[in-house]
Amino acid sequence: MMKQVQKMQKEMKKTQEALNETEFVGEAADDKVKVTFTGDHTMTDIVIAPEAVDPDDVDMLQDLILMAVNDAMKQIDAETQNKMGKYTKGLM
């Protein structure tokens, strides 16, 4: 029984490390705003197309950034649930 638990712990750790290295790209407004995160929720890049920048409408740019970030976070959460769910099934 302990060997099975240890094996599962190793597999979980390996899966989590792979998730942490995976890049997730959140997008908004037809790719005018893109953010890149790793699976451990670290932002590694942000790209804003010049046409997304309107000095008279800063609120719109802020909204687009939020949308892109939330898109990436949802992707991370879904992939984490997909990959780690098999280990946590029945534990909660």
Q: pTM for the complete prediction? A: 0.85
Mean pLDDT of all residues in the chain? 93
First to last CA, the chain: 20
CATH fold for the domain made of 23-87: Ybab; Chain: A; (3.30.1310)
Residue boundaries of the structural domains of the chain: 23-87
Measure CA 57 to chain center.
Answer: 27
- What would the pLDDT profile of 16-48 be if each residue is shown by its tens digit? 999 999 999 999 999 999 999 999 999 999 999
Name the pLDDT band for 60 (thresholds 50, 70, 90).
Answer: very high
Q: How many angstroms separate the CA atoms of 75 and 88, rounded? A: 19
